[in-house]
Amino acid sequence: MENIKIKELKVSAIENGTVIDHIAHGKVLQVVKILGLEDFEDQIYLGANLESKKYGKKGIIKISNHFFEESDINRIALISPSATIIEIKDFVIVKKFNVQVPSLVQGIVKCINPKCVTNQQKVETRFEVFTIENRMRLKCHYCEKFTNQENFDFN
């Protein structure tokens, strides 16, 4: 029997930036889109369908020289509540935390109701966040219409 060498591809560590780990299976490209990373100038590493002992499959994104504001972290939490944010400076982890789904979301998601005042006038959207039967839903403050997670349309 022939000796087979197994090659391992390793992605280099980032000096400064953010790692978004434990992204829900199938959500990596959606996170890239909602964060507007398609045209980002610095290095971005994407990993999808990676093995995870805790989640089965997961995704990961490494973004060099970029740190996220709270509104971006809330966007990530709405897409993938299991995500972990890791901030790195000079190759050292300086902050690591699990995203928290906010109880109130403002100006991030569009209302699904075309007749809602937020879709008719320049009124910032505002939603209460609910988890009903393990499914995240948003309730519009103005028209009280519920939107399911799979229908979230981000501003």
Average pLDDT, the chain: 90
Largest distance between two CA atoms of the chain:
72
Residue 24 and residue 90 in one domain: yes
* DSSP assignment of 115-134: TSHHHHSS---EEEEEEETT
Residue 16: both structure tokens together: 């400064």
Identify residue 123 by its one-letter amino acid code.
V
What pLDDT digit, counting tens, does each position of 103-138 carry? Answer: 999 998 999 999 999 999 999 999 999 988 888 999
Q: Could you tell me if 93 and 32 lie in one domain? A: yes
- Going by pLDDT thresholds of 50, 70 and 90, the confidence category of residue 2 is low
Q: What percent of the chain has pLDDT over 90?
A: 71
pLDDT of residue 155: 77
Spatial distance between the Cα atoms of 109 and 103, rounded to a whole number of angstroms: 14
Among 80, 98, 116, give the residue marking a domain's end: 98
**Are residues 57 and 117 part of one domain?**
no
State pTM to two decimals.
0.84
